[in-house]
Structure 1
Amino acid sequence: MHINIPVTEDLQDSLGVRFVLYSVYLEGFLIFKARYKDLHLWNEQLHHLFGNQLPNFPPKYFLAMTKAMAEERRLQLERYLQKLVSDPVVSGSEKFMEFFKKSQLDTFKMSSVKIILNVYLPDGQHVKVDAYTSDTAERVLEAALYKLRLSRELKEYFSLFITRRERDTNITVVKQITGFELPFITIWNMPDDTFQIDIRKWYLNPFTDSMLLGCTAAISLLYMQAVQEFQMNWSRPTEEQRKKLQHLIETGNQLKFLELMQKVEHYGYLQLHSCTSDYPEPGTSVTVSVGNFELCCCFQPPKGQAELIQLHVADMTCWHVQMLHSAKGDSARQSYHLEFTLEYIQGETQKCVTIRTQQAFLLSSCLKKMVCEQPVTSIKEALEIQAEKTRTISNKSSKKSEKVRAHMKKGHFLSTKEENVIFDGFTDLNL
């Protein structure tokens, strides 16, 4: 999960005491606002439960903070919260959930009242869930799956998502709703009624389907999502496969449809809405799909031919998401745009590409999910390949170093070119 504090407000309470209000964002969306003293009290409560297992909390200042001190505290709080949500033991505790629940309700001035929440299925139908505004996503998901008669043991394979209906029949997956979010507040805080709460499978290895095929309700959910993605052209069947799949839809043969989809290119991939990239030139349109342990980017520059880059997770060295200020406005969604920057290895070359998309956090979550799903044998193979690449680069660096040492023994000074050789060698080695 990605949590950050991009916005702070300098305010004054009823007694005239000035304080800083921190806006905490989860996956690019405001989840709550809190003062330092509230977070400090919460940390003390957690410390009674978990002791030294907790990350360091930013210390108190007894004198007025400078701008530099205020910025340092913001960053420290950001790192503290990120470590908390990344720890399943802490984030799954009752004290953690209580604080997040109360903070969300207080921030949006919402009381806990009984409601009926519509949770949509991929075919457009929906189930009505009896819930409270204070119910977490985990509780709402359990209630919805119970109504669908899905086995409790299979709950881990599904999640709630915020999606947006487009003008055509397509949808855009906006974000996954994390277990401690309050779905009602998340959907209530969206700008218009084109957004909705959906149930979708939450895995990106298409062969995981086989784990669910013993449950009729699971088969139905997988079938509905597979048909939806087939009709939105997220998958890439051949013409022959397309005809067979269309026939299976018409006859309602769900199992045969799913069996055939396993053989279709890009089955189970999530495709992002329209994106732009700085590669091969600024403003290039790019279609991004993610699934089955790979990221596929099809770049279409304004002038020139399309270029397809397919990257296995083993080729990705790191990635990060930035929230960048774009314009003034009341809504954070209007004031910020997101950039996803990926570094990867192609051959023996380290490369970098930046993609501008409002689904940047979702893309990052999908990549993390694939890393977690990757079989142990595949991880071992990837590490062996990476080790072999490192050895090759190291050998090249050693040869360059020996050449320089030979020059030094003869009493020669290093030339600028030779200095660069040594520096580049160590740089490559660190990769």
Structure 2
Amino acid sequence: MHFSIPETSDHKDPKSGSPYTTYVVHINGVRHCNVRYRQLHTLHEQLRREFHPSTLPSFPPKKILTLGLNQIEERRMALEKYLQLLSQDPRISHSITFNGFLLASQQETRSEKTEEVQLDVFLMNEKKISVRGLTILQTEEVLEKVCQQLQVPEEYVHYFALFLLERKEDGDFVVVRKLQDFESPYISQKSASKRSLKLVLRKASWDPKIDLELFNHNVTLTLLYTQTIAEVERGWIVANPETKRQLARLQAMGSKYEYMHTAHRLPYYGYLHFLPCVCDYPMTNTPAHIVIGNRELVMKIRTPKGEIKEGSFKVTKMRCWRIMTVAKGMTSDEFNDTDPEDSGSKLELSFEYLMNNQELQWITIISPQAILMSLCLQSIVEELLRVRSGIAIKKAGEKSCSTEYLFQRKDGVVQKFPIRSGLHSAQHKNCGNGNPTIPKIDPKTLSSLTGRQYSVKKLSEKFDVVNFREAARAAEDVLIENEAFFEMKDDEP
């Protein structure tokens, strides 16, 4: 997760009239919630009771006197760093307490009632699957409800995920982001009111060998078939005219299995395509088209002669990467689900790559989808290391716990909030009593549940961080180091 607190917002208490400050938390480049200092302090105290205090980062201390502008800015930066450090520990970032806080804060910020609603999820052919549940139903719960309706086998459910997708008037589509379990799909979709976004079920795995296994079950075969047809029509999967005619014949005959085995061998099958962007390779301000999949990032550029050339950057040769942003004119007067593309922000993804001459070189991509690119790279690394370790992906509902989280609202009132988290065993004795504790989990099980096998280092050790209020700052004061760079070979499975 990419955490940042790029700004603050001033408010008055509706009862007392006293002024107070809220901190605008962005997760993965999107505004998630407004929270007060005392709410984050309560979260810290809850985590201290759940985890050993030595495992937690230090929390910014309380102040006796009213804070001035400089002190508020210092606290903003300290709270941002605190959340970033929390998110680096998979035990914490997947805990009931942390996810409960994020989900409840999203609901409070958006002023959503807890009530039953219908949520529509689409396949890539516009087929609609409707599920009913509370407005605060988490992403994994919605995913499992949808897959249950489709009769996806439990062991295959988490090879798929829910995405927010924007369809253009000309039939084109853009994958905006992948939904995470700390958020409510209903609230997240509703918050994106300025854009017509749909909840879409798509494949979330990257290794083409995984797809070969999914081909053997009719339901998962159909899901992949539906997505592949859309990507062939969109031009994401490259096929010559003869192959396109062959695919069209197989589609007309309803030969899904044969269609998929043909498409599976085509260039860019299973890759995610991004909007046009600018990179500094091979030279600065080079227009580029980025696609990510099958353990690589591919950069397509047009030469001065009009030729299209492609450069492949293997994920296993990326030593690390970072996200930076330069934002313009962002205010919090109206709290909308602003994504970087709408906010005027310039985002950049930079990665350090081992070139063929064995020299490390930084390569930068400037794109409103830079954070989505970063999350894709992280997901590929997680899958690589999970497959290498021989760890099976978790089944639907496996090792999950449903309980109640005690959430302190901005007005100080404490409310009970239903929450489910994947690190707690459903059979654990404290599950469901409102005061959950973490059972002992061996490293192999932890890897299978979280996939978090990459480490994070302080970006400030290598790069300067510029103040946001001067119109330029680091969105993520972290550097993501890819352990697969050291541990994996390109020819490993």
Matched, 1:57 2:59: yes
Structure 1 residue 17: Cα displacement = 4.2
* TM superposition score normalised by structure 1: 0.82
Looking at structure 2, the residues matched to 31 and 381 of structure 1 have their Cα atoms a distance apart, in angstroms, of 30
Answer yes or no: is the 8 Å Cα contact 2:100–2:182 preserved in 1: no
Matched, 1:91 2:93: yes
Aligned to 1:340: 349
1:145-164 residue pairs with structure 2 within 5 A? 145-164=147-166
Number of matched pairs: 386
Looking at structure 1, the residues matched to 159 and 79 of structure 2 have their Cα atoms a distance apart, in angstroms, of 32
Structure 1 residue 78: Cα displacement = 2.0
1:18-417 residue pairs with structure 2 within 5 A? 18-52=19-53, 53-65=55-67, 67=69, 69-192=71-194, 194-280=196-282, 283-300=285-302, 305-327=307-329, 332=338, 333-346=342-355, 347-374=357-384, 375-376=387-388, 383=486
Looking at structure 2, the residues matched to 366 and 380 of structure 1 have their Cα atoms a distance apart, in angstroms, of 15
Alignment partner of 1:364: what SS?
helix
Amino acid at match of 2:13: D
Structure 1 residue 174: Cα displacement = 0.4
Answer yes or no: is the 8 Å Cα contact 2:32–2:106 preserved in 1: yes
Alignment partner of 2:52: what SS?
helix
User: Of the two, which has the highest radius of gyration?
Assistant: 1
Taking structure 1 as reference, are residues 381 and 177 closer, same or farther at Cα in structure 2, changes over 3 Å only? closer
Alignment partner of 2:266: what SS?
coil
Taking structure 1 as reference, are residues 40 and 382 closer, same or farther at Cα in structure 2, changes over 3 Å only? closer
Looking at structure 2, the residues matched to 129 and 46 of structure 1 have their Cα atoms a distance apart, in angstroms, of 33
Alignment partner of 1:353: what SS?
strand
Looking at structure 2, the residues matched to 30 and 193 of structure 1 have their Cα atoms a distance apart, in angstroms, of 15
Deviation string for 1:18-69 (max 9, x for gaps)?
4321111111111111011001011111211112333332222334545554
Amino acid at match of 1:339: E
Answer yes or no: is the 8 Å Cα contact 1:187–1:197 preserved in 2: yes
Structure 1 residue 9: Cα displacement = 2.0
Answer yes or no: is the 8 Å Cα contact 1:118–1:126 preserved in 2: yes
RMSD (Å) for aligned C-alpha atoms: 2.7
Looking at structure 2, the residues matched to 144 and 177 of structure 1 have their Cα atoms a distance apart, in angstroms, of 14
Amino acid at match of 1:28: G
Taking structure 1 as reference, are residues 70 and 236 closer, same or farther at Cα in structure 2, changes over 3 Å only? same
Structure 1 residue 345: Cα displacement = 2.3
* TM superposition score normalised by structure 2: 0.72
Looking at structure 2, the residues matched to 252 and 55 of structure 1 have their Cα atoms a distance apart, in angstroms, of 56
Looking at structure 2, the residues matched to 144 and 158 of structure 1 have their Cα atoms a distance apart, in angstroms, of 11
Highest RCO, 1 vs 2 (Cα 8 Å, sep ≥ 6)? 2
Amino acid at match of 1:127: I
Answer yes or no: is the 8 Å Cα contact 1:277–1:286 preserved in 2: yes
Alignment partner of 1:32: what SS?
strand
Structure 1 residue 268: Cα displacement = 0.6
Looking at structure 2, the residues matched to 54 and 318 of structure 1 have their Cα atoms a distance apart, in angstroms, of 25
Taking structure 1 as reference, are residues 68 and 362 closer, same or farther at Cα in structure 2, changes over 3 Å only? same
Structure 1 residue 133: Cα displacement = 1.2
- The structure with more helix, counted as a fraction of residues: 1
- Identity, in percent, stands at 31
Structure 1 residue 193: Cα displacement = 5.4
Alignment partner of 1:363: what SS?
helix
Deviation string for 1:403-425 (max 9, x for gaps)?
xxxxxxxxxxxxxxxxxxxxxxx
Taking structure 1 as reference, are residues 9 and 385 closer, same or farther at Cα in structure 2, changes over 3 Å only? closer
Answer yes or no: is the 8 Å Cα contact 1:321–1:361 preserved in 2: yes
Looking at structure 2, the residues matched to 4 and 174 of structure 1 have their Cα atoms a distance apart, in angstroms, of 19
Amino acid at match of 2:180: T
Please say which of residues 262-271 and 300-309 is displaced more in the overlay. Answer: 300-309
Taking structure 1 as reference, are residues 151 and 314 closer, same or farther at Cα in structure 2, changes over 3 Å only? same
Taking structure 1 as reference, are residues 155 and 358 closer, same or farther at Cα in structure 2, changes over 3 Å only? same
Answer yes or no: is the 8 Å Cα contact 2:316–2:484 preserved in 1: no
Amino acid at match of 1:324: V
Deviation string for 1:351-398 (max 9, x for gaps)?
233222221111101111111122539x99963899xxxxxxxxxxxx
Looking at structure 1, the residues matched to 162 and 100 of structure 2 have their Cα atoms a distance apart, in angstroms, of 20
Aligned to 1:6: 6
